[in-house]
Structure formats: C-alpha cells, structure tokens
Structure 1
Amino acid sequence: MAVGCLAGTASPFGAQQSRTETGLAMRANDVNGLALFTSDEGNQISFSVDEIYWADGSTHGSGNPPCLQTPWEEAGVDLGVMWVAAPDDVSYERAAWLRCN
C-alpha cells in the first residue's frame, strides 16, 4: 500500500498536488490579464487573471477573481503553486489557483 501511495502521488498522470503560498497579488494593468504575486517569504510569480481558478468565500469561478479587479491595488491571497516540467530538463513555477483572503 505504501508503494501505491508513493507511486500515485509521484506519478505524472492524474491530479498533482500544489503547495499553498500566502502573500499579496495585484493586477498589473487594465490592458491584459497580467497579475503579480509576492509571497510572505519573498517568492514572486506572475500569472493571468483571465485563466486562473479562484475562490472567494463560498463563491468560486474561473478567470477574473473579484479581489483582483482594480489595477495596482494589492489584495491578500493564497496562491496554489506547482512546478511544471518543460522540455530540455527545464522546469518553472505556475500558479494553479487563487483564494481571495
């Protein structure tokens, strides 16, 4: 059973677990969906508000989170972050979901 759990969580198939980072996010402008996030530990990641899954209290949706409507206005958020493997042994962090605080 332990081998099955390890294989299931490390497998490239199926849902993968994200880690949660808490910090501040803001919409970078009113021209496109670029958003910037800085975690409490200083990690930075950019993402598109047009594509992110979000939750705010009991409401949720995909694209355009309610807490990131106004450009340059910071909002406290939890961000689900995952490592994505790319070609040529390169990997990068990608925002998977956002929870407005």
Structure 2
Amino acid sequence: MQPDFPITDLLFQFTLLIGAVLFVQVALERIFIPGLLGLLLLGMLLGPGGAGVLEHEPVVDLFGTVGLVYIMFTAGLEIDLDIVREHRAETFGFGA
C-alpha cells in the first residue's frame, strides 16, 4: 500500500517532521555540516514547494514559523557587538 501525497493526517505530519528533524540533526553533526543547513534543506524537500510530501496545514505552517524564529535567533547569537559599536553610524544608517 503506497501512501497518498500530500500527507493530510496531522498526527502523521507531526511525527514525520519530528523524526526527520532529529535524524537530520544527528546525521549532519557526524559529518560536520551545520544542522541549520540540514533543516533548511529538509524544509525545502518535504514542504509544499518541494516534493509535495506535506501540504499547507497548521503543523507545517507552525514548524515553518518556528524555523524562521530559530534562524533569526541563531543569527542574533552570531552578531559581534564590538563591531557594531565600532561602526555605530553605519549600523544606524542601515537600520533606518
């Protein structure tokens, strides 16, 4: 019996996404590739714009939003505030 795509069962979507995220994180850490890159590729592959395994459902939208927040949080951790202070005028000009 072959599965129907896109998957519409919310519980199966959630289980598939959590399992894939955990697998990708562990697999990529072993080959020294950043996990964030794997998560982005996984989202492109499984999402509605990729292979179409998942369609626009509340679970997919929720994980997409959480993923964007995670990317912004990670980018915020990478900011060197000493460099921002050195280039204060350029920083505020660009921000404005």
TM-score under structure 1 normalisation? 0.23
Higher helix fraction (1 or 2): 2
Higher strand fraction (1 or 2): 1
Greater Cα radius of gyration, structure 1 or 2: 2
